[in-house]
Chain A
Amino acid sequence: MSSDLGTPRRPASARVRIDGLSALSGGLAVVLLALLVVPVVALALASSPADLVAGVRDPLFAPALSLSLRTTLVSLLVVVITGTPLSWWLASSRLRLASVVALLVDLPVVIPPAVVGVALLETFGRRGLFGPELHALGVSIPFTTAAVVLAQVVVAAPFFVQAATNAFRKVDLDLLVVARTLGASPGRAFLRVAVPVALPGLLGGAALCWARALGEFGATLLFAGNLPGRTQTMPLAIYTALESDIRAALAISLVLAAVGVALLFVLRAAPGALSRERRLRGVSARVGRS
């Protein structure tokens, strides 16, 4: 029985039972993992360097890249400027209205993007809700670059607002009370304390939001169309290129996939690395003191 010392029995037997399950569940998990990863690998292997160069030189590539960058940066800016105060209110309000608003903000996540496109047409289109007023002002939004931005904002904003609200909720109330008693106005306490403390969460939300805007396809296609140079963003250019030159489609796809992987790294790896680095600095400082 001395061999049992240091290895308690219960966890061991529990592990065996879990192992028994994992033969099946492990197999299922591998199937899913393969479905997630293999296409990305296939995409990376699909084109030779020469194909890539040809794809990048395709007349579809540069305008789509430029339009995607411009529109997503504008929509990110719009989302951050309008979404930050909304998130702050959602995080600090105890009203029942706040939970209703939080639910409304999540709507575009559960509604298919194509439906969002139709809904935007029914709002801003010529026969839409604001159609007559916009027409009277001489403004036409559908099938313009502004429509691209609107579609991206609607589809991507929930990702930022959710993340920002969670980040603001974690800001200790006492930090804000202290800031106020020290003489900070509500605005100063927000900008100098709440925002910096919540910054990792805000940046993560902004990154997710940008990734979602960059990949926007359905709502853009229906509300903004697929006009090269005006509304043809990178996902739409892939759609067009598949019918003409698959090399261009692959090149654009690779760029989008690389951006996605880079964002994933920033989102998942960077905070961990940051806190590790902070811990190390803390340890060295403590050692240095003694």
Chain B
Amino acid sequence: MSWLVRVCATLGPLELDVDLCGDARPVALVGPNGAGKTTLLRLIAGAYRPQAGRIEVGGRVLFDAAAAVDLPPERRAVGYVPQGYGLFPHLGVADNVAFGLRARGHSGGRRAARLAAERMLDELGCASLAGRRPTELSGGEQQRVALARALVVDPAILLLDEPLAALDASARRQLRRFLADHLRRRARPSIVVTHDARDVLALEAEACVLDAGRVVQRGTADQLRRAPANDFVAELFGG
């Protein structure tokens, strides 16, 4: 299952000009603050409209400026987990996870959607959280719930914005392992924004360095460590 993101977009001070493609292996998006990482995820999700380009996931065209194709976010089959997880504060954990099922008119109504949500939570090892409120969860728990919510509608591509940044060291280690396992088993495209070289290694991801809206280098953590394209890469991968 392959994907392709070729976008040109000017959003405020940022000029994004990116040409990326990948397969089922995770891609780790790294780069300094303001490089356009979050913006790129939101462009793929359909929150912003690029001026030009084409976005394709698994042979399905989500956006094509030339062909005037621009699917709205709800038809893109994109799983988006923003920085800070974006759990709906007014809904309980189970209702957060069931949100996508209900929005899509899940067959079987409310109860079936809730059961499916609970199964998904169980699969991610957090069935016990179903009755909680998002405000009562630790960072790691919020991350798992956000992941369950994104995965329950079976997206074609998963976009994770700094999934481990807000966690303390031990939770980060634990969740990193969990995420690496899950992405490997799922074997579907995913793009993970991170500031941590250890994430790139653990996820066995191809790293893609974004700077000032452009891709400046791609490669495995090892390749980037040996031949860093700039100081940022050198510092990040400890070359």
Residues of A within 8 A of B (CB): 172-175, 177-186, 188, 192-193, 196-197, 199, 278, 281-282, 285-286
Contacts and interface: CB of A to CB of B under 8 A. Distances in A.
B136 A181 contact: no
B86 A172 contact: yes
B86 A174 contact: yes
A185 B135 CA distance: 26
Contacts of A173: 47
A178 B80 contact: yes
Given A177-B80, A177-B86, A192-B99, 7 more contacts: A177-B82, A180-B73, A181-B150, A182-B99, A182-B149, A193-B88, A197-B88
Nearest to B89: A197
Contacts of A175: 86, 88
B83 interface: yes
Contacts of A180: 45-47, 72-74
B13 to A, nearest CB: 14
Closest 4 pairs (CB-CB, A-B) = A182-B100, A180-B73, A174-B82, A183-B103
Nearest to A185: B74
A181 B46 contact: yes
Contacts of B46: 180-181
B74 A197 contact: no
B90 interface: yes
Contacts of B86: 172, 174-175, 177-178
A226 B80 CA distance: 59
A174 B84 contact: yes
Contacts of A286: 136
A181 B133 CA distance: 22
Contact of B45 (A177, A186, A199): A177
A174 B153 CA distance: 18
A174 B89 CA distance: 12
Interface string B190-222: 000000000000000000000000000000000
A182 B74 CA distance: 6
A285 B47 CA distance: 36
Contacts of B74: 180-185
A278 B47 contact: no
B80 A183 contact: no
Interface string B102-123: 0110000000000000000000
Nearest to B155: A181
B176 interface: no
A174 B136 CA distance: 20
B80, B103, B150, B153: most-surrounded residue (chain A CB, <10 A):
B103
A181 B81 CA distance: 10
Contact of A182 (B83, B84, B103, B132): B103
Given A182-B103, A182-B153, A282-B136, A177 B47 contact: yes
B30 interface: no
B36 interface: no
A91 B78 CA distance: 26
29 contacts: A174-B84, A174-B86, A175-B88, A177-B73, A177-B86, A178-B80, A178-B81, A178-B150, A179-B88, A179-B99, A180-B72, A180-B73, A181-B46, A181-B150, A182-B74, A182-B99, A182-B100, A182-B103, A182-B104, A182-B153, A183-B100, A183-B103, A184-B74, A185-B74, A192-B99, A193-B88, A197-B88, A278-B135, A285-B136
Nearest to B81: A178
A281 B83 CA distance: 26
A183 B153 contact: yes
Contact of B90 (A172, A183, A199): A199
Contacts of B155: 181
A183 to B, nearest CB: 4
A175 B87 CA distance: 7
Nearest to A198: B90
B103 A184 contact: yes
A177 B42 contact: yes
Contacts of A179: 88, 99, 103
B163 to A, nearest CB: 13
A169 B33 CA distance: 24
B80 A181 contact: yes
B78 A181 contact: yes
A277 to B, nearest CB: 12
B211 to A, nearest CB: 23
A157 to B, nearest CB: 26
A196 B103 contact: no
A260 to B, nearest CB: 29
A173 B80 CA distance: 13
A177 B153 CA distance: 15
